[in-house]
Amino acid sequence: MRYHFKIHKEEPGGWAQCIEYDGILTQGATREELDFNMREVLNLMLDEPEDSTWIPPMPDPTIKGRNIVEVEVDPKIAMAMMVRVSRLKSGLTQREAARRMGIAHVSQYQRLESGKTANPEWATLVKLKKLFPDFSVDFVLA
């Protein structure tokens, strides 16, 4: 999963703004620092939002242009985000999703929506796909 940032050069460094996700800005004294900061701010914004009903904007793979770079989301955070988005679009609570997947404790389901621990087994991916037919790991793997 890759989002796009437009880089603005200023001496002695520069700043960048995410195109798909209005409001994500960062800066760096060097290009290396700017690259690190873009990844860090993007992952922080997409991981465990305060408002559990918030659906983040999705990356737009058609974005191209001068001074535009792709920034990859940490795969665990991308996976957690896609599980959360699928659940929200289905109108389910975490407790309802856990029950329908046959997960005994809601805390086990909540780990699927946590970027710190989202690393589901194959059987869990099958259950996710059955519960959310539109669920896909394509964004995570792309």
Q: Closest Cα partner for 92 from 112, 77, 73, 74?
A: 112
pTM of this prediction?
Answer: 0.85
Average pLDDT, the chain: 88
Q: Closest Cα partner for 65 from 17, 26, 101, 98?
A: 17
Residue spans in the chain of domains classed CATH 3.30.160.250: 2-72
CATH of region 75-141: 1.10.260
CATH of region 2-72: 3.30.160.250
Q: Closest Cα partner for 48 from 83, 24, 90, 19?
A: 83
Burial per residue of 89-107, b for 16 or more beta-carbon CB atoms within 10 angstroms, e otherwise: eeebebeebbeebebeeee
Residue spans in the chain of domains classed CATH 1.10.260: 75-141
| DSSP-derived 3-state class of residue 8 | strand
Place of tokens 């058609």: 62
Give yes or no for residue 12 having a pLDDT over 90. no
Q: Each residue of 14-51: pLDDT tens digit?
A: 999 999 988 889 999 999 999 999 999 999 888 866 55
Give yes or no for residue 101 having a pLDDT over 70. yes
Task: Please tell me the predicted confidence (pLDDT) of residue 10.
Answer: 86
